[in-house]
Amino acid sequence: MDFETVAVVILAAGKGTRMKSDLPKVLHAVNGKSMINRVVDAVIPSFFDNIIVVIGHQWERVKSEVESAFSGKVSYAIQHELNGTGDAVRSAMPELKEKMEHVLILCGDVPLIQTKTLQLFVSTHIHDRRDVSVFSVCVENPTGYGRIILNESQRFVAIREEADASLEEKTIRRVNSGIYCVKKTFLIDALELIRSDNAQNEYYLTDIVSIAQKMGAVAGSYTGDAPEECTGVNTLEELNVVENLMNLRER
């Protein structure tokens, strides 16, 4: 499939305070290569025409790191206030090229994601003519992840963040990986409708699923069969887990 009309937005603005380090989270290395550069590595082979890295905390250091490996191949958007993932994506929109029809959104702290996985995900999104697709995985311990919410008809209707989930919803093991593919025209409209009336007072990108339901747009959840690829890093312990998984893969 031709991915020339698919832009990529990589979210890399956060502080990563739980890492207990002055180094921006996405600059921590996994087997000698920073997490952010591993994510860019995964998208460069197929989605090379419009890659945008959203930077914020210590943005000069993050930009310098990416430029050292991908000079001239990536553009940047600065999230001046860290007001959530929805706000981060909004800051990237001016960098989207006119011809782009879909936007693949990833986090810069998910370094195990692979090119072929993203290709399959985006291909499914386009083939099924969805307005928004969410990459989900089933995990043993869903703590900390947004839960995939289905209605009585097993239709995907929302993503519930941990802080806003009910006790029953917290038992759901199918979770949001933080990877999305969204039709650009829908994304432009949906970003204007996201509100910050939640436990964190942030603009959640996850709200675009419930917005899609209200607008009559097509939302779907794609379930990956390799949950370890979507392992996010928020602590040094999780960084160690990811390094061990990377060692197993490279062997």
Separation CA 224–CA 250 (nearest Å): 21
Among the listed residues 18, 155, 173, 195, the single catalytic one is 18
Closest CA to 128 of 178, 183, 190, 185: 183
Contact 51, 75 (CB under 8 A): yes
| Coil/strand/helix, residue 49 | coil
Element (H, E) at 236: helix 236-250
Spatial neighbors of 216 by CB under 8 A, at least 6 apart, are none
51-55 and 6-12 strand pairing: parallel
Spatial neighbors of 180 by CB under 8 A, at least 6 apart, are 103, 104, 105, 132, 133, 134, 135, 205, 208
Residues 114-142, buried b or exposed e (16+ Cβ, 10 A)? Answer: eeebbbbbbeebbeeebbbbbbbbebeeb
CB count in 10 Å sphere of residue 152: 6
CA distances for 93 relative to 2, 10, 50, 172, angstroms? 22, 12, 11, 32
The question of whether 18 is a catalytic residue gets the answer yes
Residues identified as active-site: 18
